[in-house]
Amino acid sequence: MILKLCNNGKSVIGTREDGAMVSYSIEAEEYKQWLSEGNIPEPEFSEEELLVQAKASKLAEVTATYNTSITALVGNTDQYELTSWTKQEAEARAYVASNKAITPLLSGMIVARGLGETVLQFANLIIANADAYRNAYATILGTYQANQKAISKATTVAEVQAI
């Protein structure tokens, strides 16, 4: 008979020689007899199964950390504003390179904001924010990718837990 511990060692499952599945509580007399004959049950999960479980759990953990970090980075900026960031940055960089550049988005935003900013002031603010965002995002994304690679390469549960 081959038996495996399960339910944190409180019961065992297995297959008898006749192919029938068996399940015992740890107190079962037949199981005690089987143990007294020098038999040792297999663990509930193999090392490979434990590694797969650990990797899946750690990947979920690092993905949640990545998502939380990105959410913190963009704050409560809505998706519509987020999609405009690339255009804002492009207009800002074009204007700083040549004050003859056309900046319909920036100019419209300056009027709507009503803060008395010049196009150059606003362009410099956008560029500074874009650079800061890019640097922070690079760190967050790079860390996430390094963790994904480390999880993939791990060969033991201990290696996964160390990530």
Ranges of each domain in the chain = 2-36, 47-161
What does the alpha-carbon distance between residue 21 and residue 13 come to, in Å, rounded to a whole number?
Answer: 7
pLDDT in tens, 110-158: 999 999 999 999 999 999 999 999 999 999 999 999 999 999 999 999 9
d(CA 87, CA 85): 5
**What is the average pLDDT value for the chain, to the nearest integer?**
87
When pLDDT is averaged across residues 23-48 and rounded to a whole number, the result is 71
Q: Model confidence at 75, in pLDDT bands (50, 70, 90)?
A: very high
Contact 105, 91 (CB under 8 A): yes
CB 120 within 8 A of CB 96: yes
CA distance 33 to 36: 5
